[in-house]
Amino acid sequence: MKKISFVFLEEISLHQLQKLVVFLLTQFLDRETTNAYSETHTHTMGKGGGGEDAVMLPLFETKEARFRGAYKVFAFTVFVGICLIWVYRLTHIPRAGEQGRWAWIGMFMAELCFGLYWILTQSCRFKVVYNHPFKERLSNRCKDKLPSVDIFVCTADPKMEPPTMVINTVLSVMSYNYPPEKLSVYLSDDGGSDLTFYALIEASNFSKHWIPFCKKFNVEPRFPGAYFSQQIDVHDIKYAQEWLAIKKLYKQMENRIDSAIEMGEIPKEIRDQHKGFSEWNSKVTKQDHQSIVKIMIDGRDENAVDIYGGRLPTLVYMAREKRPQWSHNFKAGAMNALIRVSSKISNAPFILNLDCDMYANDADIIRETLCFFMDEKKGHEISFVQFPQNYDNITKNDIYACSISVANNVELVGIGGYGAALYCGTGCLHRRESLYGKVYSKDYGGELNVEFKTNADKAVNELEEVSKFLANCNYEKDTQWGKKMGVIYGCPVEDVVTGLAIQCRGWKSLYYNPNRKAFLGVAPTTLDVVLVQQKRWSEGMFQIFFSKYCPFTYGHGKIKLGAQMGYCMYLLWAPISFPTLYYVIVPPLCLFHGISLFPQVESIWFWPFAYVFVARNACSIAEALSCGDTLKAWWNGQRIWLIRRTTSYFFGFIDTISRQLGLSETTFAITTKVVIEDVLKRYEEEVIEFGSSTIMVTIIAVLALLHIFSLIGGIKKIFLDLEFIKLDQLILHVILSLLLVMINIPVYQALFIRNDEGRIPSSVLLKSVVLVSLACLIPIV
């Protein structure tokens, strides 16, 4: 590096000095970081900035994924193959009167749908970018000027979502490495349960021990249940002693809560110790109760301290009013009540919302995420930062494909690359102003260090009474709440609609997937829960497509076309069930009857089918392995993909159409977080839990039997019957049916071999055999 005299430095201008700093940085920093720095430098100088604040390193950088150009070339070749398949279908349609004509036309329609849907999925893959924050720079720059953050935790039913799990999540976020006086935690209890309220009282007391312990030893994760299940380092005697003492306190608290839940009521001596229990009487029910707001810990109070005298964050319990005659709008209504109530108590400029089963796994994640909002160049444009949904109970080979690794690491990342990350309803840090319906403008500066606490001088009782009014049923009447303010109403996946509406007001959103998972939840452990959850999601997504919020119309000219396509990739889950059902029913039946729907091996038209099949599956395997999945996990994912499309998505479509015709109303199904011991054992052994005779399980069984019947029948026609049918005429049919049989092996085991409680009931087997026998008698036209 060139030597520069200090005398010369005194004579050069400020502008020259700034150029020199950029040059010096190129000697020490990597090229990408320096480029980002130069952009910020140019931006601030363009505004006429000067002095030491004019040149600031960016608080985050964005890097494009490698090999994007090569992938585009690959995708183009696949697209050409798909087009050739369409051409083959159109140019080889059987003549009128020939057997299989209508089956052939149906194949063309199914393959047309698959091709168009594949095009939608490519939009996000062309824009994969990775965001990386510089937490150290934020700490050096802001020091004690960090903004306040409100954290919302939502629960709805103490039976489906155990209070012990709920308070573990609350404790994990109370323990963040963040100034406690700038942290406020709100628990929304839509069940209005005194059991949940009691659990929060216990958590508020335990937090006085737990928070200082976490910060003293820098423990991770800060979810007590998960932390105490780990092995400890016995070499540190002091740590081991405190670990045992804290674990004892936790177990005692857990036992008291579980005992109260088992009895179904709070003991009188406990009720007498806290005046908050006076809100509950014999008339209070889950769907009929008044607003309840209780400030458990007042973070403004300097006497609200832990056992070592350290300040504690604010902790608030809220149960919004519910009456039978008022629509409560499910989780969206709870979120909007939380936004209003928190505005009177803490009114932080940022809001982190979590589901009650999604605990904090990284104590520094708030500081990291604020880098995106507080960046001088781009931070003011950002409305929210979405994190992936990860789970701590995923088996090695992900039996139910709940880890959605490719979606988390490729698809959602790609949509975020357009500045339009999907809001997924949990694990999201929002800018409060964007949730109020504010339209973004270039003049917006985002005054992050302004304190909005207008009620700092009010007593706790006064704040509670004022907040209750904001959580009343009739507060939203004749207002814009649920329309242009807060979370949007009218859809089971209100979070996705809300994110889209915010982006169409000019805001940008980012998707951030940190190296250490920010939040961990509880994945379903039974197939039934998985399918119910997927049905609700697909139904809600399809409702958005039918509503005024369809991205192609509502987002036209407001978000990029690639983002619109990325949204619709998920919104069209439900209708993609029909071509899938057609493809897994009609070709096997045609094989059974000896009717060919695919080109012969020696035909040139065989190669587009072969190339598209091999290329797409090879790419799918490569994506899965690069995202950390095993090969078996990828195979399990293909099975669940097929099951979801033929059951959950199908019924999601039916329910959406019924709702559009006014034949049904939207419902919200809470998935249980309670796990039975023998079910958990089978889950850990990666054995699929069927165990019911629902219509979805019946469809799974029918399709599995159809595939094996068709394969056996088709092979019999080829090798044993006297009819002149060559193997090469049906080879693609045989391959397709063989793959379907292989993917359904766990279904056959549940039908014929297993004798545990998770097997498929014999009544389902009987119905399935009858239905498949009837299907095989249907003539193919």
User: What is d(CA 494, CA 95) in angstroms, rounded to the nearest whole number?
Assistant: 49
Shortest CA distance to 391 belongs to which of 361, 428, 424?
Answer: 361
Could you tell me if 523 and 404 are in contact, meaning their C-beta atoms sit under 8 angstroms apart?
no
Distances (CA, A) of 403 to 126, 388, 407: 22, 10, 9
Could you tell me if 85 and 608 are in contact, meaning their C-beta atoms sit under 8 angstroms apart?
yes
User: What is d(CA 589, CA 760) in angstroms, rounded to the nearest whole number?
Assistant: 24
Print the SS3 string covering 291-350.
Answer: CEEEEEECCCCCCCECCCCCECCEEEEEECCECCCCCCCHHHHHHHHHHHHHHHHCCCCE
Q: Supply the pLDDT for residue 673.
A: 67
Could you tell me if 134 and 60 are in contact, meaning their C-beta atoms sit under 8 angstroms apart?
yes
User: What is d(CA 151, CA 345) in angstroms, rounded to the nearest whole number?
Assistant: 13
Beta bridge partners of 481: 485
678 is catalytic: no
629 is catalytic: no
Q: Supply the pLDDT for residue 38.
A: 37
Shortest CA distance to 318 belongs to which of 349, 287, 288, 339?
Answer: 339
Shortest CA distance to 168 belongs to which of 424, 520, 517, 428?
Answer: 520
Could you tell me if 196 and 163 are in contact, meaning their C-beta atoms sit under 8 angstroms apart?
yes
Shortest CA distance to 131 belongs to which of 342, 295, 369?
Answer: 369
Which H/E stretch holds residue 187? Answer: strand 183-189
Could you tell me if 354 and 151 are in contact, meaning their C-beta atoms sit under 8 angstroms apart?
yes
The DSSP bridge pattern shows strands 149-155 and 183-189 to be parallel
Residues in the chain with pLDDT < 50? 1-54, 449-451
Q: Supply the pLDDT for residue 448.
A: 59
User: What is d(CA 387, CA 518) in angstroms, rounded to the nearest whole number?
Assistant: 7
Could you tell me if 570 and 606 are in contact, meaning their C-beta atoms sit under 8 angstroms apart?
no
Beta sheet of 359-360, edge-to-edge order: 359-360, 519-521, 390-391
User: What is d(CA 769, CA 701) in angstroms, rounded to the nearest whole number?
Assistant: 9
Could you tell me if 152 and 354 are in contact, meaning their C-beta atoms sit under 8 angstroms apart?
yes
Could you tell me if 57 and 577 are in contact, meaning their C-beta atoms sit under 8 angstroms apart?
no
Token reading at 32: 């990408």
Shortest CA distance to 413 belongs to which of 68, 108, 82, 114?
Answer: 68
Question: One-letter amino acid identity for 563?
Answer: A
Could you tell me if 384 and 512 are in contact, meaning their C-beta atoms sit under 8 angstroms apart?
no
Directed axis angle between helix 695-719 and helix 648-660, to 10°? 120
**Catalytic residue chosen out of the listed positions 190, 355, 375, 655:** 190
Token reading at 263: 């009895």
Is the peptide bond prior to 162 cis by the omega test (within 30 degrees of 0)? Answer: no
Show the beta-strand stretches assigned E in 28-80.
Answer: 60-64
SS3 522: coil
Q: What digits encode the pLDDT tens for the residues 464-478?
A: 999 999 999 999 999
Q: How far is CA 751 from the centre of its chain?
A: 33
Distances (CA, A) of 425 to 263, 429, 487, 567: 33, 10, 10, 15
User: What is d(CA 539, CA 648) in angstroms, rounded to the nearest whole number?
Assistant: 9
User: What is d(CA 683, CA 53) in angstroms, rounded to the nearest whole number?
Assistant: 56
Name the one residue in this structure whose structure tokens are 């929060």: 200
Q: Supply the pLDDT for residue 453.
A: 52
Token reading at 28: 């020490």
**Catalytic residue chosen out of the listed positions 357, 362, 375, 495:** 495
**Percent helix / strand / coil, the chain, rounded to 5:** 55, 10, 35
Q: Supply the pLDDT for residue 231.
A: 79
User: What is d(CA 208, CA 220) in angstroms, rounded to the nearest whole number?
Assistant: 18
Cα Rg of the chain, angstroms: 29
Could you tell me if 430 and 383 are in contact, meaning their C-beta atoms sit under 8 angstroms apart?
yes
Q: Supply the pLDDT for residue 316.
A: 98
Residues 6+ apart with CB under 8 A from 444: 380
Burial class of residue 101 (count of CB atoms within 10 Å of its CB; 0-12, 13-18, 19+): middle
Shortest CA distance to 355 belongs to which of 178, 529, 469, 523?
Answer: 523
Could you tell me if 466 and 472 are in contact, meaning their C-beta atoms sit under 8 angstroms apart?
no
Find the length of the chain. Answer: 781
Print the SS3 string covering 683-734.
Answer: HHCCCCCCCCCCHHHHHHHHHHHHHHHHHHHHHHHHHCCCCCCCHHHHHHHH
